[in-house]
Amino acid sequence: MKAIKKLKISAIIAFMAICGTTFAQIQTFPWQGVNREYLIKTPQGLDKPVPVMVYLHGLTEFITNVDNQFHFQQLSDQFGWVIVIPQALSQSGVTMWNAAMNNSNIDDSGFLMALVDSLAEPYHINLDSVFFTGFSMGGFMTHRMAIEHGDRIAGCAPVSGLITFAMSNVTPVAPVRMLHIHGTSDNVVNYNGTSQVFGGTLGLSVEAILEYWQNANGCEGEPEIDTLPDTHNDGLRFIRYSYDCDTDLEHIKVVGGTHTWYHSDTQYDASYMNLIHEFFTRKIIDDGLDENSTGSLSVWPNPTKGVFNIETGKAGIIEVLDIHGRVVRQQEVEPGTAQIDLSGMPDGVYFVKGENGTSAKLVLMK
């Protein structure tokens, strides 16, 4: 009997330890007289300023449940970025962001930027590399953040979220790099702006949203259209629209896509988070190219599935760097054309550098 009692006590202690760990992850930030909750994930070996990505959850969701779905700590370690997951407040009995869909006076927009500012010093956040993404209602709020804080945000990627009619009448404070992802079979937040689930019209259609950002980002002409490789029998087609703008604008139309965040590129033709991260990191790498490059290398095919060709006019060492600036491959080449194999490296954006300061951006997508 004593053994059973001792076992029960041990189980309770273990359970409390697990709960303590879970709840200890939740931190608070005072805003408008309320202690707002958030989770923060930091990469291992954080010793220099790094980008931050803020993920905004959907309607009715809670950050602990979302964290269990996305495994944000693994993403933070993989990307080498700080990831912040804030909690929306409850309105009319459900958690939701104030994306200007109703008459709420909750200042979520101000809260989110103030939260990022408060975390900059203790977590080594680079405030020139602040990115927002979100799903559904979080996608609506991501559009609002882009409109109201585009002068401080390096890029936004709303998924399955629209611009509300109230926000569509607001002129963006600045152009902002924008990637909008949406499924054509989404019956919760329809591609045309309506909803079979909630009824009525929720906001601008995707076509109208793209027109809104084309005007804001100084775009001209028709978009370049390419279809991502159809690698899985998933009933989906990922089509990318890339616009010629002063500031990047892209749209990924997921033909057959529902109101779902597609996580895994081992099950689907693409992973939303990988697409978003690749889009965000282009800004960081482009900035590096602008500062350091003295010319461009010729590399092809680009994107590559692993093996790519490089043409150089002189012998020397070619370096391939990942998005964190780490050298992942070195190869001595002679003048002319050489091949470099990255088949064993994870998908993503890489930076190819020659000894004479020439460089090129390379996308690896198997």
Give the number of other CB atoms < 10 A from CB of residue 340.
20
pLDDT of residue 9: 38
Regarding the domain delimited by 23-290, which CATH topology (the fold level of the hierarchy) does it fall under? Rossmann fold (3.40.50)
pLDDT of residue 288: 53
Residue 166, pLDDT > 70, answer yes
Q: What is the pLDDT of residues 310-348, one digit of tens each?
A: 987 778 899 998 766 778 899 998 888 889 999 988 887
187 or 295, higher pLDDT: 187
Which two three-digit tokens encode residue 95?
């958690």
- Judged by average pLDDT, the poorest of 2-16, 93-107, 156-170, 332-346 is 2-16
**Interhelix angle for 108-120 vs 137-149, to 10°?**
70
Query: What is the bridge-based pairing of β-strands 348-353 and 316-321?
Result: antiparallel
Q: What is the pLDDT of residues 37-81, one digit of tens each?
A: 999 999 987 777 899 999 999 999 999 999 999 999 999 988 889
Mean of pLDDT over the chain: 88
- So where are the chain's domains? 23-290, 294-364
pLDDT of residue 95: 97
Cross-strand partners of 130: 52
Give 285's pLDDT tier (boundaries 50, 70, 90): low
**CB within 8 A of 92, min separation 6: which ones?**
none
Which two three-digit tokens encode residue 293?
């490059």
Q: What is the 3-state secondary structure (H, E, C) of the chain?
A: CHHHHHHHHHHHHHHHHHHHHHHHHCEEEEECCEEEEEEEECCCCCCCCEEEEEEECCCCCCHHHHHHHHCHHHHHHHHCCEEEEECCCEECCEECCCCCCCCCCCCHHHHHHHHHHHHHCCCCEEEEEEEEEEECHHHHHHHHHHHHHCCCCCEEEEECCCCCHHHHCCCCCCCCCEEEEEECCCCCCCCCCECCCCCCECCCCHHHHHHHHHHHCCCEEEEEEEECCCCCCCCCEEEEEEEECCCCEEEEEEECCCCCCCCCCCCCCCCHHHHHHHHHHHHHHHHHHHHHCCEECEEECCCECCEEEEEECCCEEEEEECCCCCEEEEEEECCEEEEEECCCCCCEEEEEECCCCEEEEEEECC
Cross-strand partners of 252: 181, 240
**Identical fold between 23-290 and 294-364:** no
Give the N- to C-terminal CA distance of the chain in Å, as an integer. Answer: 59
User: Is 46 in contact with 76 (CB distance < 8 Å)?
Assistant: no
pLDDT of residue 21: 37
Give CA–CA dist 74/303, Å, rounded: 25
Angle at 213 between CA 157 and CA 128, to 5 degrees: 50
Class of domain 294-364 (CATH, top level): mainly beta
Query: What is the bridge-based pairing of β-strands 50-56 and 82-86?
Result: parallel
> b/e string for 29-45 if b means 16 or more Cβ within 10 A?
eebeeeebbbbbbbbee
Give CA–CA dist 12/20, Å, rounded: 12
Q: What is the pLDDT of residues 237-277, one digit of tens each?
A: 999 999 999 999 999 999 999 999 999 888 999 999 999 99
Give the number of other CB atoms < 10 A from CB of residue 146.
26
Residue 294, pLDDT > 50, answer no
297 or 128, higher pLDDT: 128
pLDDT of residue 284: 63
Give 283's pLDDT tier (boundaries 50, 70, 90): low
